[in-house]
Amino acid sequence: MCPTCLAPTVVTAGMAQPMRRESSRRDLTQELFAAAAASLLSRRLMANGRTIMQNSPAAKVALAHIEAWSHHDWDKTRAMLAPDVHALITSTQREIGTNEFKGIDKYMALKMRAASLVEPESVQVLGTVGDEDTALTLVTFRIAMGANGSLVTMARSCLYLLDENKKIKDERDSFFVLSQAASEEG
């Protein structure tokens, strides 16, 4: 809480700022999500002797991959994958479920199907950190997974592991539908 105005606060780059009172629950959730990511991702971190940074080699690959699939550049998306790419997709929301698969052809078939549901130009990267071979991204996008195919806002964290050729060898995705949860509660 902001001690002056008694409004909820968010911490961005180490500074507390009052949140807008007029925000809807969905906007508030997205604002908190973005503020937390910005706070964590605004500095270099050290973990197990490795420097983790936003512009690392793995972070650059992760961002290029997001750019490729979100703009339906399927040749570039495919070229960034290792032949034996492994992916695990999960969510705590039962309607999304869990899926695991291996291989470029299976990966591309599922990625193309899922990306066709994403609203064009709606992908927003909230943050990315990484090192030489591992990256973690946090994005939101609008996707047609609501009632009767309506658009909802989804948050996605994705952990990438690159092989020795800087190709995506392993991808771990976790999803959460933000706007659906907000609309059900309020």
Q: Which residues pair with 101 in a beta bridge?
A: 87
Mean pLDDT of 114-127: 92
pLDDT of residue 171 exceeding 60: yes
Average pLDDT over the chain, rounded to an integer: 78
State the Cα–Cα distance between residues 104 and 89, nearest whole angstrom.
Answer: 15
Whether 50 and 101 share a structural domain = yes
If DSSP codes are grouped into helix, strand and coil, which group holds residue 19? coil
For 157-180, what is the mean pLDDT? 92
Helix intervals (H) in 57-173:
57-70, 74-79, 104-115
Residue 97 sits in the same domain as residue 78: yes
Residue 68 shares a structural domain with residue 159: yes
| pLDDT of 40 over the 90 cut | no
Mean pLDDT throughout 76-87? 97
Average pLDDT over residues 93-98: 80
Q: Exposed, middle or buried, 186 (CB in 10 Å: 0-12/13-18/19+)?
A: exposed
* pLDDT for res 149: 86
Which stretch of 46-50, 52-56, 85-89 has the lowest confidence by average pLDDT?
46-50
pLDDT reported for residue 4: 39
The total number of structural domains that make up the chain = 2
Q: Which domain holds residue 37?
A: 9-41
| Mean pLDDT in residue range 68-89 | 96
In the chain, pLDDT over 70 holds for what percent of residues? 67
Rounded CA separation 126/36 (Å): 10
Is 151 part of any domain?
yes
pLDDT of residue 1: 37
pTM, rounded to two decimals: 0.70
